[in-house]
A = this chain, B = another copy of it.
Amino acid sequence: MTVLRERTLHDPCTPFAVLDYSKMSRNIDRLGTRAQKLGVTLRPHLKTAKSIPVASSIFAGGAGPITVSTMAEAEAFADAGFKDIVYAVGLAPDKLDRVFNLLVRDVDLAVLVDSRQQAEAINRLTAATGQRIPTLIEIDCDGHRGGLEAGDPELVQLGLTLHGAGNFRGVLTHAGGSYSARSQQALVKAAENECDVANRAAEMLRNSNVPCSVVSIGSTPTAHTAMDLKGVTELRAGNYVFFDLVMAGLGVCETEDIALSIVVTVIGHRHDKGWTITDGGWMAVSRDRGTENQRLDQGYGVVTSLGGAVVEDLIVAEVTQEHGILALRSGSRADVPHFAVGTRLRVLPNHACATAAQHAEYEVVRLETSPGDKSTSGATIDAVWPRVSGW
């Protein structure tokens, strides 16, 4: 009998992405419980994890409802049995053939529009094929992206156009502005505003005899802050499954909650500059600088031991394609730690969506179930979970 040696975090070639299943489960439970208490359906946005096993973990074997950011995600999750999907990016009309192909497979895929051109393209397809295409209208709640404003008369026109062809389903908004909130109070306000704007838009449509069965809101910060979601039918959030330094900086989670990290290896030093150089450059951690304008700028990520203990004040200060330069944050009085060449460390991401996107798969560990630092630092890899890529 061959005894296969366990794979641990010392084994895969660095850099690679690690997913801490224990932390992820806690994050999933936290928002799941919250949504239940608020009496609203949680429709997780899978643009962060882009992984079928992660989706299965969220639903404990169930199958949705979910949100996606690309048609490639919609197709991959539909193939895996997730058949209640919102594609939450404004529809490019030439993607309608792929939408149609899913709808005729009995996938309940809703699309998003904010213009007459999009609505007309949708209605033309319905006229030609008889296939209804569930459509949400994007509502702008904070001026950060697309969408119609709640008071815009165009909203009713668009609702009537879609409803006339049996294609209207509801309204959707996203408080993207909440990512740059500077206080808990600002987050609470963003959450209230997101809910109010969506409800006003829905009301405006109903007043014009356009039935609006879906009122969809959500962003990870507002989903964790909202106190009253009266009128809202579903809550979308994606980042909460992993969390990241931006969310920690906003106070939405603690650094200890971050479930995604990148394992890197020390490849050199510049002792004269206090630098430790690793093989984790922007290719591994991404170019995202999401904490740049927060109170605490985390560079390109916070450094921890392989076991997950944060190294005081040590951040990824600079990156090139395949090099990460670790240094103490400016003003730190900590001693420069010494990590010998070959030492493995981990980097917590600024922005989990961007960092995860640099990798094809996750090495899944249950760090918190291993007792003591010795075992956690060499935590056993339980599984390798692939990501969906492309568009």
Give chain A's interface residues, CB within 8 Å of chain B: 13-16, 47, 69-71, 89-95, 98, 114-115, 117-118, 121, 138, 140, 143, 145-146, 176, 265-270, 273, 277, 279, 282-284, 286-289, 320-323, 325, 340-342, 353-354, 357-358, 360, 389-391
Contact = CB atoms under 8 A, between A and B. Distances in A.
Main secondary structure of the interface of A (DSSP, over half): loop
B267 A90 contact: yes
Given A92-B267, A114-B268, A325-B145, A391 B354 contact: no
B117 A342 contact: yes
A294 to B, nearest CB: 16
Contacts of A269: 115, 146
B265 A115 contact: no
Contacts of A390: 360
A379 B316 CA distance: 43
Contacts of A15: 391
A267 B146 contact: yes
Contacts of A143: 273
A117 B276 CA distance: 14
A145 B323 contact: yes
Given A94-B265, A342-B92, A145 B277 contact: yes
Nearest to A117: B341
Given A145-B325, A176-B320, A283 B342 contact: no
A279 B89 contact: yes
B13 A93 contact: no
Nearest to A359: B390
A199 B259 CA distance: 47
B270 A146 contact: yes
A170 to B, nearest CB: 18
Contacts of A284: 391
Nearest to A357: B283
Given A146-B267, A269-B115, A323-B146, A16 B391 contact: yes
Nearest to A273: B143
Contacts of A93: 341-342
B47 A341 contact: no
Contact of A95 (B13, B70, B95, B140): B13
Given A146-B268, A267-B90, A288-B287, A47 B322 contact: yes
The winner among A71, A91, A284, A287 for most chain B CB atoms within 10 A is A287
Contacts of A279: 89-90, 92, 391
9 contacts: A13-B391, A118-B267, A143-B273, A145-B320, A145-B325, A146-B268, A146-B277, A279-B391, A287-B354
Nearest to A68: B322
Nearest to A341: B117
Nearest to A275: B146
A180 to B, nearest CB: 12
A282 B354 contact: yes
